Structure 1
């Protein structure tokens, strides 16, 4: 497992082996285990330290975060967990590496109930829509539903990433919540048969495939469009973004499936007081604004505005189904992906 340092202070394995009798770190610090890319959260950390004087130490892991916390046990230095979707938040809770935060007036005021664990083990910070990328040149319609993706009219015209990826598992889980397992299996089979190729790559690769003419529509997270539009380091991604329009599925009925970035208090947080200050900061209007501008997601705080770029995608109507209810179906969703052979691609 490779730990990534990108301009942030990262603590190493040696610190994890420090004596349990001594504090893991000095007062005035917090230790963050993060699935979020360091570059995306650095502005938040800088603002928090400027406001409070509390230093932040960040360990970035692209996988295995929960397993690491379990292995560290009571000696873990982790104070706060930052994750990128509901599946990972739920995984952390079920693995017993979080502790509840109940009755915090700041957090509960700023984060609506639909975006937090009923028992207080995790809290959503921003949302992103699981939207449809559609070719501006080859797709005339501007309305679509998830159910329509199984319509044979799209045969050979859809691209997606791996069906087992947590972003797709979240969507499939929401379909189960709305339609039941049997209907979702039929839908997923139809979607599979409409694929232009085997699922591959990330969400940005789906936009690239549309640009290249390999498919006409694709599933992707809304925030990737903003990241592509503003990518000066890889300007070809601006061309990919320019080739697509964002369609928000099910706008005329239940709304678009949304997922969250989120936070949780680590079970054995050695700097709990500072950790709670950080969590309150992340729920605040200041942090929500930074998040919205930096990562092109939607703030969960009522009344907080998304960035101008995100507004340019059009109006989103989020599905109001509680995320905890959706997450309860993720095991069934994963099993359906395998059952229909989704990752094998369309039947030839």
Structure 2
């Protein structure tokens, strides 16, 4: 009894401290982010628990409400980041250490932050497409590409974001014309993913396709797909009045965040030099923090100037962009 009274009087100093932890809901495959979390735990002693949520993340967070165990959301594409913000399941984060992320790569209300970027580029056949044949996104609507373009569905998040960026640069009428031009130039109906389009180029079904840069890294690591990758090269197109379209992987803090302090430490770690290098190399993406070197493979793809259009603006224009894609019935 005396021991119990003493422990009570001493409070927390007499009891073992509870281990800190962070709970993360992730759209990214566990193997792509585990090296980051292992490094964070080694440095801080904070455990990271990850739940891979491929679909229905917003619905899950809404259903859980204030009882949600999730502290952070890790996801890809500005569309998904915009969705969690619009659903009201995130909170603003004000932190000086996150200011290293460029303003155009974070939400204007500080509800989400980019961690890496990827470019939406053109995969071009090494022999059937000459250097300089395609230099801009506008070129994709040129009749010279009739029957020569492959793409995944244009209602996919990646292509909707690209269309939203085109809309921001050119307005509704020109965007409709551009989308119709791409549809007229398709070699076949849109289907599959970005890597499937490269396979189609290798098979001679088309000559160019749209894709994200990191898929090149993924294909080169696959014994079967390496042959597809070796048949093409990466071209960094630009908008006529801008740069190369980029999208992001990013993080947001949930509204409930039961372990807010530990979650903030993880967010700060994710923009450290160490984490930026690990994340970019593991996923074949570009660091968002200035001064962090790209991986040797990513650097070998060449230099480009990223479009300076704010991702928040692209996110806001996504509904209209999707409407225009459906008007043209590009996937039909």
Report the TM-score range of the alignment, normalised by the length of the smaller protein.
over 0.9
Shift of 1:230: 2.1
CA contact (8 A) 2:143 2:181 kept: yes
**Of residues 132, 142, 146 in structure 1, which corresponds to 2:122?**
132
Give the SS at the match of 2:331: helix
TM-score of the pair, normalised by structure 1:
0.88
Provide, for residues 131-166 of structure 1, a one-character-per-residue CA deviation record: whole Å limited to 9, x for no partner: 000000210124511001000100010001011110
Corresponding position of 2:254: 266
Give the SS at the match of 1:198: coil
CA contact (8 A) 2:138 2:240 kept: no
1:181 and 2:172 are equivalent in the alignment: yes
Give the SS at the match of 1:328: helix
TM alignment of 1:1-348, pairs within 5 A: 27-102=19-94, 104-108=95-99, 110-142=100-132, 143-231=134-222, 235-250=223-238, 253-344=241-332
How many Å separate the matches in 1 of 2:225 and 2:44?
37
What is the RMSD of the two structures over their aligned residues, measured on CA atoms? 1.1
CA contact (8 A) 2:166 2:239 kept: no
Give the SS at the match of 1:321: coil
Unaligned runs of at least 5 residues, structure 1:
1-25
CA contact (8 A) 1:251 1:316 kept: no
CA contact (8 A) 1:101 1:121 kept: yes
How many Å separate the matches in 2 of 1:338 and 1:37?
30
Give the greater-gyration-radius structure (CA): 2
TM-score of the pair, normalised by structure 2:
0.93
CA contact (8 A) 1:251 1:317 kept: no
How many Å separate the matches in 2 of 1:183 and 1:60?
40
Q: Which runs of 4+ in 1 moved over 2 A?
A: none
Equivalenced residues, count: 314
